[in-house]
């Protein structure tokens, strides 16, 4: 699709308004919000990530791309979260301490909300006490943690260990995700599940809540 190719270029170039316009056009063409997200925005960000890794793009450009992506996501959010579904449970979600990547976490939050979960979004850079405090004060059943850096993903274990020390680990379903993680890591740190993407997070949460 020509427009989708154009969107990948525009995302790469950080063209927020163009991305927003293209999202609206795809919606008019009856694309589902989920397809727009995955096939244009997430796919485009993948290209940005590759060139960032290879030293072709730098932080300022990647920030612009992220900003453009967020513009597109903001249009899709109301469509993804509107739901007549009965409440499925409550999830506290946030990116771990030292880590400011939030696009994937936001996507998981949106899709979970769309599936009928209540979401308490703690944002980025969360120490263990923020997660644990929110789980308790919000009376949530699910903890979701996101990390995009190999240097920050071990912090997930710090949070889980703290819950264990408090004797509260089994009170919650702990889901983890983020590009550098895998199922083996999730298991090793004592999470209930590693979630490869937002759709799998929804599916896993439903299964574990049942």
CB-nearer residue toward ligand B1M: 22 or 108: 108
CB-nearer residue toward ligand B1M: 18 or 105: 105
User: How far apart (Å, rounded) are the C-alpha atoms in residues 41 and 133?
Assistant: 33
Phi, psi of 132 (to 5 degrees): -70, -40
Q: At 141, list the tokens.
A: 């059943």
Judged by CB under 6 A, the chain residues 175 through 194 that form the site for ligand B1M are: 175-180
Pattern 2-41, binding to ligand B1M, x per CB under 6 A?
A: ----------------------------------------
Q: Tell me: does residue 49 bind ligand B1M (CB under 6 A).
A: yes
Helix H or strand E encompassing 90? strand 89-95
Interface segment toward ligand B1M; rule CB under 6 A; list 6-14, 24-32, 44-52, 157-165:
44-52
> What DSSP assignment string belongs to 82-105?
---PPP-EEEEEEEBTT----HHH
User: How far apart (Å, rounded) are the C-alpha atoms in residues 136 and 54?
Assistant: 42
Least distance from ligand B1M to the Cβ atom of residue 8, Å: 13
Q: What angle do CA 86, 123, 194 make, to 5 degrees?
A: 65
Query: Is residue 26 classed exposed, middle or buried when 0-12, 13-18 and 19+ CB atoms within 10 A define those classes?
Result: buried
Q: Tell me: does residue 72 bind ligand B1M (CB under 6 A).
A: no
Q: Tell me: does residue 144 bind ligand B1M (CB under 6 A).
A: yes
Judged by CB under 6 A, the chain residues 84 through 143 that form the site for ligand B1M are: 98-105, 107-108
User: How far apart (Å, rounded) are the C-alpha atoms in residues 113 and 198?
Assistant: 11
Least distance from ligand B1M to the Cβ atom of residue 200, Å: 7
Sites of contact with ligand B1M (CB under 6 A): 42, 45, 48-49, 52-53, 59, 62-63, 66, 98-105, 107-108, 144-146, 148-150, 175-180, 195, 197-198, 201
């Amino acid at each position: 699709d020509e427009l989708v190719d154009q969107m990948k270029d525009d995302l790469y170039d950080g063209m927020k308004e163009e991305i927003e316009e293209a999202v609206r056009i795809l919606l008019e063409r009856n694309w589902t919000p989920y397809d727009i997200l995955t096939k244009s925005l997430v796919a485009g960000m993948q290209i940005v990530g590759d060139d960032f890794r290879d030293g072709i793009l730098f932080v300022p450009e990647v920030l612009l791309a992220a900003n453009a992506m967020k513009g597109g996501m903001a249009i899709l959010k109301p469509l993804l979260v509107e739901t007549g579904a009965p409440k499925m449970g409550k999830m506290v979600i946030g990116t771990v301490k030292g880590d400011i990547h939030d696009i994937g976490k936001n996507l998981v939050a949106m899709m979970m909300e769309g599936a009928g979960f209540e979401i308490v979004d703690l944002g980025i850079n969360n120490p263990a006490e923020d997660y644990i405090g929110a789980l308790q004060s919000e009376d949530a059943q699910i903890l979701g943690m996101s990390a995009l850096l190999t240097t920050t993903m071990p912090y997930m274990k710090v949070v889980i260990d703290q819950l264990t020390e408090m004797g509260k680990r089994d009170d919650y379903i702990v889901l983890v995700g983020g590009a550098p993680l895998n199922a083996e890591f999730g298991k090793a740190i004592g999470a209930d599940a590693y979630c490869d993407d937002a759709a799998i997070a929804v599916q896993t949460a439903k299964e574990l809540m049942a």
